[in-house]
Structure 1
Amino acid sequence: MGSRMMHAIIAHQVGKYFEVKDLNSFIIGGIAADANLTDKDTSHFYKGRMDDFSKVIEIDLFTEKYKHQLNHPFLLGYYTHLIADENWLNGFALSWLKNRLDHDDDIFYRYHNDFQVLNAKLLKHYNLKETIKNIFDEAEVESKVDEVKTEDIRTFIPYIIKDIDYKEPDLYEDLQVFTLDQLLGYVETSIQKSILKINQNNFLMSSKS
């Protein structure tokens, strides 16, 4: 699905839009689902399978389970993650990327190299390198969901800090599988859809506190 850095940027932009005071917690929530490295189906509320194209993210199960706590910044950040991964699942994974991964042994490595290069390009585009680095350097981590443990997130954060400390040449390296416009469109759509859904469902409430 989307990279760690994409999720951090999406959560940052959504949190800033709503002027969430506890932006750190919002962004930690935005990357938390990927911190469960042993059971991502559970942390992402997945149902179905990739091989028969039935895989979906049951976001409604998440909102129903946590409906009395969805004004918490961590949970709203988590919500943005699920929305972004739903966009990735439908717009990339099921529509064409799974096919290429199944038929081209080399594309897996080019795909992940693109993610590394995109860390640099996206942080530069949004001018967020120092902002996001400071957030994760100073993060007070406490999971608010059953699907991911606090310790999982603490173990995961150093990988994100490593993503932030990109190499300067990555800014100028060409992408091999994706295009920058394609990924910017994905990030921006995920931001817009998260804002829309939070507003439509009145999840904001006291999340600014």
Structure 2
Amino acid sequence: MKKLTYFTSEFVSPGHPDKVSDQISDAVLDACLADDPNSRVACEVFCTTGQVVVGGEITTTTYIDIQDIVRRKIDEIGYREGMGFDSNCGVLNAIHSQSPDIAMGVDIGGAGDQGIMFGGAVKETPELMPLAIVLAREILVRLTKMTRSKELAWARPDSKSQVTLAYDENGKVDHVDTVVVSVQHNPDVTQEQIREEVIEKVIKPVLESYNLDPAQVKKFHINPTGRFVIGGP
């Protein structure tokens, strides 16, 4: 009997609450840098039902319209009225200037109070990332494109994927063990249609593009809770 080791990675879509917050804070940074390349931006975003809170410390010489940035980004992500979250939400701007004590360490060209981040690369994929995270990401890239193009007309912006790979004793991929996809949907579509279309139109083409046999997948879990109409923040 083969001795197998299992490795799992997860990825979320642009409509996932964590990613909504990330994209808004990135958009605030982009708006600052567009007019003032020397901007210093520490921007955090919190999203919940009907409300976005933008806070943090910003040092810049330009004016940015937080309300407009937030609403444009929510529209771009794809949230519309009736989905439980859309660009008509409340927006609270809690941005203020940087602490003068922290600024002292930055104004002279230092790195302030920041730490050091590090990581590594693997040869498993052309992207130099572990295969499980690449597959989880590519599944959501494909799903998001099909959602926005209306090819999957029932799909809504919030989704998540998870891929588990089985490795043999030599560290080589033996097979794809499990694929999980949870995708927000309109209330009229059946779970059978969601399962069939996600597996056939989204998952299988991605696995095949990486020379993996979809027939060897042990388990597909598509919307395992059975319903995902209200999603997002």
Same fold (TM over 0.5): no
Higher Cα Rg, which structure: 2
- TM-score w.r.t. the length of structure 1 is 0.29
Q: Which structure dedicates a bigger proportion of its chain to strand?
A: 2
Q: Greater RCO between the two (CA within 8 Å, min separation 6)?
A: 1
Q: Which structure dedicates a bigger proportion of its chain to helix?
A: 1
- TM-score w.r.t. the length of structure 2 is 0.27
